Structure 1
Amino acid sequence: MSLSLGVWIGDNDFINNKQLNEMQKLLSEFPESYFNSIYIGNEVLFRKDKSIDELLSYINDTKLFLKKINKSNIPIGTSEIGSLINHKLIDNCDVIGANIHPFFGGEDVSKSINWTYDFLKYQIEPQLKKVRQKPKIIITEVGWPFKGGSFQKSVANFKSFQYFLNNFICEAYQKDYGWYYFEAFDEPWKKIFYEDSNSWETEWGVFNYDRSMKEKIQFPACN
């Protein structure tokens, strides 16, 4: 088993440097085979914490560090909201993580699987034609909220959650894209993002925040 090493990049340079130093410590201490990839930042551009050039400077510095310690085979990139992934970002990464949430596409859950892969096909794949190197594209966030309201035709409830869990995972096994399901556990701290009657930000986990299984949720059995 290997892992993807994530490095938090925000608007605080002191914290960013602590994160990067810890990354370097781990990469120096453990074998290269332990690391599937490295993601420098998650949704940095979406939050406007750093410019794309600032983010790329962190990525390129990490590439130099890996070369220095003879571990250059580890792919390096970032994960970002799918709509903000552009050719400049792609051209400087070995791997690109796309956070794609069909819930915010506003369609009924029955259309969510096709919506996800259409987004990749029509929004992200065309960017690959504009770059010198072809990085690996990974779906780094995809899921559906368990409860908390609705967004246009997208409804956050148990039925839709189970539908998406079943159908996305079984379909994903037939595709060439790697993916990470969003998410394992509920995150109560995200209630700070509640707006009006929309309280879904805390409710994306397959498990409750205390690590217990959500009531009635079943893992899919794919053929």
Structure 2
Amino acid sequence: MAKVYDVRGYLRSVGVSTPVSTVHTWVAIRDNPALCGADFAGANAHAFYDGGRVSGQTGDFVFKTVVPALKAACPGKKIMITESGWPSRGGNFGAAVASLGDERNAILNLNCACRDDRSVDVYAFEYDDQNWKGNDNERSFGIFGKLNLLGDVFAPC
């Protein structure tokens, strides 16, 4: 947090007032409220890695588990879910199945959940697959080129 405070102080000293923060897993923020000292709480929240969730529970995981925990840890702070998604391939993690159908279902479910709470910004992770990463799960969170956004993921809820 010292680096966040240094950067924010420098930016303010030169007339820049953009919000400054850092990003951690939601569990790290929940367990270390000192991470709430930035201008907003930026957290990564992947239901897949919870292990007890299926893709259709992604929205509930974010809005009924993660967001309340972050609001309790960081009262009064803006909450941003900076990463949330589902892998299209790789090993399963408990009840979580990595497949293209589950990735589609998770993103649709997350999108539908977002309409109910506009106070939290949620960013789907990520633009395309990252083949340089260490395993198939981590490599396969890409959305574009795999999912039909307008007729599928952004379908009416």
CA contact (8 A) 2:129 2:139 kept: yes
Instruction: Deviation per CA, 1:92-120: give whole Å up to 9, x if none.
Output: 21111110000011122222221221222
- Deviation above 4 Å: which 4+ runs of structure 1? none
Partner of 2:148: 218
Alignment of 1:33-52 (within 5 A): none
Partner of 1:204: 141
Picking from 150, 158, 180, the partner of 2:123 is 180
Partner of 1:128: 74
Distance in 1 between the 2:62 and 2:116 partners?
A: 14
Distance in 1 between the 2:40 and 2:67 partners?
A: 17
Higher relative contact order (CA 8 A, sep 6+): 2
What amino acid sits opposite 2:60 in the alignment? N
What amino acid sits opposite 1:139 in the alignment? I
What amino acid sits opposite 1:222 in the alignment? P
Which residues of structure 1 form unaligned runs of 5+? 1-55, 208-212
Deviation at 1:89, TM superposition (A): 1.4
Partner of 1:19: none
Identity of aligned residues (%): 28
Deviation at 1:204, TM superposition (A): 0.4
Which residues of structure 2 form unaligned runs of 5+? none
1:63 and 2:27 correspond: no
1:115 and 2:61 correspond: yes
Between the two proteins, the alignment pairs up a number of residues equal to 149
Partner of 1:145: 87
Distance in 2 between the 1:122 and 1:96 partners?
A: 13
TM-score by length of 1: 0.63
Instruction: Deviation per CA, 1:126-185: give whole Å up to 9, x if none.
Output: 1134xxxx3211000000011112101100101111111212112213212111110111
Distance in 2 between the 1:125 and 1:96 partners?
A: 9
Deviation at 1:121, TM superposition (A): 4.0
Partner of 2:35: 89
Alignment of 1:153-164 (within 5 A): 153-164=95-106
Q: Which has the larger radius of gyration?
A: 1
Distance in 1 between the 2:13 and 2:54 partners?
A: 50
TM-score by length of 2: 0.87
Instruction: Deviation per CA, 1:4-57: give whole Å up to 9, x if none.
Output: xxxxxxxxxxxxxxxxxxxxxxxxxxxxxxxxxxxxxxxxxxxxxxxxxxxx12
Picking from 98, 101, 110, the partner of 2:46 is 101
